Amino acid sequence: MVSLQIQQVYFSYLDGLVLHNINLSIEAGEMVGLLGPNGSGKTTLIKLASGVLKPNQGEIRLDGSSLSQLSRKSIARSVAVVPQQFNIPFAFTATEVVMLGRTPFFRAFAEESEIDRQFVSNALELVGISELKERRFDELSGGERQKVILAMALAQQPKLLLLDEPTVHLDITHQVEILELVRRLNVERGLTVIAAMHDLNLASLYFDRLILLKEGRVSADGTPAQVLTEAQIREVFSALVKVEPHPVTGVPHIVIMPKGSAIKRQ
């Protein structure tokens, strides 16, 4: 379990400022969803939290240590990232891909140990894809691949799991399965989770805390009920919606209101 402090962080790519003065404190064991329109800075924030991007100003602390002081290897031993998708050019099997998650623990010339193999088979089992282990990664469906990547991230034994729109290319079954699993790991093992999410309803269902980004600034931060209001969604996404309580859980459920052209003839 680790906490993450983002303090007065500014970040810009070569062609413009992306994040303005971000201050966030994420406690160990939290499950946090990042929401916002395309280009609002969600992915950038995930990359900053993973340490592959460095802030122009400000500091990010992982359990109190500044990320800029830590080696990539030591960060990778406690932080794992699941991106939208990976393109792997070689014919690795699912097991071989999951074994890549053990990379931060390998030493040069040493073969993978029994412990590494154990972590890999546990991760495959946890994600429920043991039957895919001999299959080739490039022959799997999008949803299966994303599960393999999630298993790879879990083989890394992370304390903080960062997900960048992990379900964006998946059908609804896989979306739910992946979020259910992440939620279970969060609840049962205290895994800290930060995920950029594009689907507001899934975010509302699975996350305790949502952070709404608009043009690189935090525009709302709180429980789904506090963040997913009609006014804030209109303000941030310029979308007309109606928010109702979810029929079973009671969390906010967003209903998209059609504009004129989408109204069907009766």
Q: Which stretch binds other proteins (CB under 8 A): 79-87, 166-174, 208-216, 253-261?
A: 79-87
Q: Residues 5, 167: contact at Cβ < 8 Å? A: no
- Rounded CA-CA distance 13/18 in Å is 7
As measured in angstroms, the least distance from the Cβ of 53 to other proteins is 10
What does the alpha-carbon distance between residue 32 and residue 208 come to, in Å, rounded to a whole number?
6
Write phi, then psi, for 242 (nearest 5 degrees): -120, 135
Min dist. Cβ of residue 103 to other proteins (A): 4
Paired sense of beta strands 16-26 and 4-13, if any: antiparallel
The verdict on 90 binding other proteins (CB under 8 A) reads: yes
109 in contact with other proteins (CB under 8 A): yes
Q: Beta partners for 22?
A: 9
Residue 12 is a binding residue for other proteins (CB under 8 A): no
**Interacting span for other proteins (CB under 8 A) from 3-11, 82-90, 186-194, 231-239:** 82-90
- Is 168 a binding residue for other proteins by CB under 8 A? The answer is no
Nearest to 2 by CA among 79, 69, 60: 79
Q: Cα 20 to the chain's mean position, in Å? A: 21
Contact between 73 and other proteins by CB under 8 A: the answer reads: yes
- The DSSP result for 199-264, as a single string, is -HHHHHHH-SEEEEEETTEEEEEE-HHHH--HHHHHHHH---EEEEE-TTT-SEEEEEPPPGGGPP
Residue 104 interacting with other proteins (CB under 8 A): yes
CA-to-CA distance for 35 and 87, rounded, in angstroms? Answer: 25
| Binding range to other proteins, per CB under 8 A, among 98-106, 118-126, 167-175, 189-197 | 98-106
Segment near other proteins (CB under 8 A), from 44-52, 123-131, 177-185, 219-227? 44-52
Site string for other proteins, 110-139 (x = CB under 8 A): -xx-----------------------x-x-
Q: Of 10, 86, 143, 198, which one interacts with other proteins (CB under 8 A)? A: 86
Binds other proteins by CB under 8 A, chosen from 103, 118, 141, 249: 103
Interatomic CA distance for residues 144 and 108, integer angstroms = 31
| CB nearer other proteins, residue 23 or residue 113 | 113
Judged by CB under 8 A, how many residues of this single chain contact other proteins?
A: 35
- How far is residue 196's CA from residue 65's CA, in Å, rounded to a whole number? 23
Contact residues toward other proteins (CB under 8 A) are 14, 47, 50, 52, 71-77, 80-81, 83, 86-93, 96, 100-101, 103-104, 106, 108-109, 111-112, 136, 138, 156
